[in-house]
Amino acid sequence: MIETFPKSTKEEGKDPGALGSPNPLISEHLSVNVKTGVKPIIISVSPEEYISEPGAEKQKGALPKQEKEAHNVDWYASSDPYEFSPVDEKNKESEGYKNCIGIVLTGKEKGSSKQISCVGHFNPSVFFTKYSTQEKFLHILRSKIEEVKKRSEEGSMDAAVFGGNVFEPDPSSLREYEETIQTVVEESEKCLGFAPVVIIGPKTGRGQDDVSYDTENRRLFTVRKETGVSSSESYLAKDFPRQKKKWAQEYKEKSAWERFLLFLGM
């Protein structure tokens, strides 16, 4: 079962790391076994600012410090509109998911007690540029999935999609987000045999998602400006039309000043 940590900047006096209600999306493809450590990917979302207890000063949300060596998936240093980490047991981290979308693949390595993972970081523009760029991206995505699948025990693999932005400030962002999500999920399902869950929806305002993935514990961490809202919910790609209505309403409820800043691209 996918669990989320839905926190709101309005929920003062609460620990942003406290576990919220479990998300009802079931990872039926997993052979859940506590002894072998097979469990679904979990996401922990912290607000950018929070108050730990009544009367205390606001604190900045932050990703947990990496205690082990981690791969930095540096999308900004890539010559392509995408970047993938190696497949191994190390933790992963990546910054700057503004409009960008990410995917995490994980599994329990055959003949070992180790968990392995791979994290991808890609811009939706990959599907709206040259056809050869799109095909190259999909080839790499499939190869990463097949590598994790080949090296993992049967029934131990999980995958989740995250990130993205809609309504900021170009309306085409919604179309690009939808087409990217649907294509990535469909292509992944062909290789995996199950559809990855979108573990957190797109932002409907300013900001970016910085993430770190704890491979051993299958936990994805992120800090987001707006939490506890419909856009931070998990969903299945087939439910996109229903979620899209929620995001539109969420955007309409923003203040005139917030929408003006979005219009200016700030």
157 in a domain, yes or no?
yes
18 in a domain, yes or no?
no
**pLDDT over 70 for what percent of the chain?**
74
**Element (H or E) spanning 70, and its range?**
strand 70-72
> What's the pLDDT score for residue 25?
60
**Mean pLDDT across the chain, nearest whole number?**
82
- Pick 220 or 49 by higher pLDDT: 220
Instruction: Dump pLDDT digits (tens) for 178-237.
Output: 999 999 999 999 999 999 999 999 988 778 899 999 999 999 999 888 888 888 899 999
35 in a domain, yes or no?
no
1 in a domain, yes or no?
no
Instruction: Dump pLDDT digits (tens) for 63-88.
Output: 877 777 899 999 999 999 999 999 99
Q: Which amino acid is at 70?
A: A
Smallest CA-to-CA distance from 110 within 173, 154, 163 is with 154
Q: What is the mean pLDDT of residues 4-32?
A: 46
pTM of the model: 0.83
201 in a domain, yes or no?
yes
258 in a domain, yes or no?
yes
At residue 189, φ and ψ (nearest 5 deg) are -65, -35
Decide if pLDDT at 38 tops 90. Answer: no
The answer to whether the Cα torsion of 116, 151, 103, 200 is positive or negative is: negative
Question: CB-hemisphere CA count at 13 Å for 91?
Answer: 19
Are 166 and 250 in contact, with CB atoms under 8 Å apart? no
Q: In total, how many domains does the chain have?
A: 1
58: domain range?
Answer: 42-264
> What's the pLDDT score for residue 36?
56
207 in a domain, yes or no?
yes
Helix axes 172-192, 240-252, angle to 10 degrees: 150
Decide if pLDDT at 50 tops 60. Answer: no
> What's the pLDDT score for residue 55?
58
**Integer Cα distance of 260 and 116 in angstroms:** 44
37 in a domain, yes or no?
no
Decide if pLDDT at 48 tops 90. Answer: no
